[in-house]
Structure 1
């Protein structure tokens, strides 16, 4: 991995115009993530055509599946932050070793989590509030999904190796192709076609497994053979410990921060479940639509960290501060526009996902309230990403814990006591507003302190 090759594929993150650089890095991420998000939306759409029971079952799986994905995201954050600094230092041998160690570590953790997941399906989903009828459907789906998770982990971390040097285009293509394969296979496997039997909710999980498996083989070919960004062999124990230590130092708190989200979502889902299957089905649809409505924020949260990591390492704190401020202002304006669009289309969107009036009415209620808080939620997400990029993973963990367990869950619960389901929706908006303000204040304070320390040292 020569530095020349890296620079030809990647923008100069230390010197190029900030807004133009972030735009060039984020745009391909948006395209790729739109396709990646279709995994959930396409599954939800086709499963909704089977019935409310199946839609409620798939909605119960969201917090659990996101927990597994959060571990992968955390490892990806650690991988990207560590390799970005190594690439900036020009140590290509160490970068290759770290990339190999990251993928080995990911495989070990993903297998362990899959085994644990399969063994705990029944107790976990009972705890979330699923009844006996839904547990049968959930079990059919999750057994296959946990196996699919093995094929998801490696491409996600492999993509982080590419993003570390600023290459966001290739990971986007990998995500887009996986989403396309899933969209093609979903209706075939769910409803049956020709010799293929109708597999129902389990068909959606099988389609996801195949799509991720295809992505896995491509990303391994790309990293090991075409780009030579990882070693052609397994590391010995000493090399593995050395390469994975730095990744775990950032990756575990980052994964922990991400895993708090589905835990909190699970608690709120349990509160929503007290209002019946229709409420859970609508909540699940709203959660999937949230991912699409915040696609730009999520893309920025993956393209901003390499920029911040390299500039932070080069002591260019003014560029870090400018980039953060620019992203915060943009996200607030963008998400306000998204709220207006979603509110205007709420009736149309609701009918797409459910023909049952009670479910569609609840979806409309969700869309007219909850997206109003997405801008401030986006600010919190970007602040978490910035803390991780500056090698402050514990700050990101604390911020996320505050958001979820001091604000979102308690305020949503109190809201449910006062205003039922509407109170839960209002509570999430209020919580995101409060935490977004805290996040900006905290990050600015950190940057100002470090900037003053740098001036004193000089």
Structure 2
């Protein structure tokens, strides 16, 4: 990065090392919320328009969620590693190493996602059959996933590029990129799904093509910002020594973080398989509920992206008290906010269900989902923010262990037990109980980690 560009760029940034903690988190998070509101709202358009095609297409799209989220989670995990490494370098004022890491992350993510998508493309039938999809749904799943796999490499630009920008304190630009891509997806969805003029109706395949178009746009925009506008990555190939060193730093955090993230869709796949035993209506309702969860936990997700750069930069600068203050401020806010969200969802449940389906059985199950699971979204927020903060402190293995315990010791076993005893109501209630127990464990463990870091010699912290 040239001195001129660095000065121009840094003047626009929030000072993560000196500005007041609550105000800094607010200024970082609000732009992310705007972008994510647009992105997730536009993504719900997929579900809405596909739902108009009928219960079977909606069920097919619901089955794709665990698989698509696995690839997304891998990319997000690499983004977490990228952000943690870059932010710590910036906290130490080492801009050269930060730029090397940003460039290496893009190469790394492209190769890994491409390999994963190629494997997924060739095992579509056995994979979705294992998830519980009926043979009648496989053609619809192919229509969507065949295109989704081909275009998935385009994800790496927006996902990793946005992580680079957030690490430097810029959350406004990523929100613009996310919102713009989401808007394009929403515009093309109805045109390609139902047809317009000379464009034929493509059904489920049209939804996948609309998503692909939005990714290509996001890829072009983020590369323009990173290379021409802000000079945050190298346009030439890195020397092998610097490339391998940067990749090693990123993978040290990124692989455990990706592993932790990929556990979530695996758990979602198992939950989908359990729900599938109750029929296609239950799967369709669960798919809608999962989409709604993304919206309901919007601020949690936004904070999980803005809190880590703050913590990592202050960790790199040896200012652990600011990192701890930020974590506690975020937790208190999330608990209060999610209570408000639950009350809103509970009151609006019948109306929300009627938006997504005209099938009475599906609507009743959507309402059941809304009345139970969102009760625990604030506590789930504690778990999410704790994991992201542990990664920011370069403690990825502890974060991974927490994810394993949450999903496979509490969440899934309690949900399955509830399902056996009380059907779908018990399944949702068991999942809720799992989030409650895990939130208490997560908060206690994180506060203990801060105590250990504060007792460590200063040179080990920095």
TM over 0.5: yes
Distance, in Å, in 2 between the alignment partners of 1:440 and 1:406 is 17
- Pick the aligned partner of 2:135 from 132, 135, 150: 132
Whole-Å separation in 2 of the counterparts to 1:9 and 1:222: 14
Paired with 2:350 and 2:460, the residues of 1 have a C-alpha distance of 59
| TM-aligned CA deviation for residue 146 of structure 1 | 1.0
Partners of 1:141 and 1:201 within 8 A in 2: yes
Q: Could you list the per-position Cα deviations for residues 172-195 of structure 1 after superposition, in whole angstroms to 9, with x for gaps in the alignment? A: 000000000000000000000000
Structure 2 residues without counterparts, runs of 5 or longer: none
TM-score of the superposed pair, with normalisation by structure 1: 0.98
Matches within 5 A, 1:175-190: 175-190=178-193
1:200 matched residue in structure 2: 203
Q: Of residues 153, 163, 166 in structure 2, which corresponds to 1:163? A: 166
Report the number of matched residues: 458
Contact 1:39 1:208 in 2 (8 A): no
The CA deviation string for residues 114-154 of structure 1, in whole angstroms up to 9 with x for no partner, is 11110111111011000111111101100101122111122
Give 1:387's aligned residue: 390
Question: How far, CA to CA, are the matches of 1:289 and 1:333 in structure 2?
Answer: 19
Aligned mates of 1:456, 1:79 — CA distance in 2: 23
> Contact 1:59/1:284 (CA < 8 Å) preserved in 2?
yes
Hey, what's the Cα distance between the residues in 2 that align with 1:457 and 1:359?
55
* Separation in structure 2 between the aligned mates of residue 110 and residue 421 of structure 1, nearest angstrom: 35
Deviation at 1:224, TM superposition (A): 1.3
Residue ranges of structure 1 left out of the alignment (5+ in a row)? none
Shift of 1:428: 1.1
CA RMSD of aligned residues (A): 1.4
Asked if the contact 2:88–2:315 (Cα under 8 Å) also holds between the matched residues in 1, the reply is no
Counterparts of 1:332-371 in structure 2 under 5 Å? 332-371=335-374
Match of 2:282 among 261, 279, 282: 279
Secondary structure of the structure 1 residue equivalent to 2:412: helix
1:118 equivalent to 2:114? Answer no
Whether 2:416 is the aligned partner of 1:418: answer: no
Residues 79-98 of structure 1 aligned to structure 2 (within 5 Å): 79-98=82-101
Deviation per CA, 1:12-38, whole angstroms, max 9, x where unpaired? 111111000000000000111112213
The CA deviation at 1:6 is: 4.2
Is the contact between residue 9 and residue 230 of structure 2 (CA under 8 Å) also seen in structure 1? no
1:270 to 269, 273, 278: 273
TM-score, normalization by structure 2:
0.97
**What's the CA shift string for 1:227-278, capped at 9, x where partnerless?**
1111121224333212211011100000000000000110011000000000
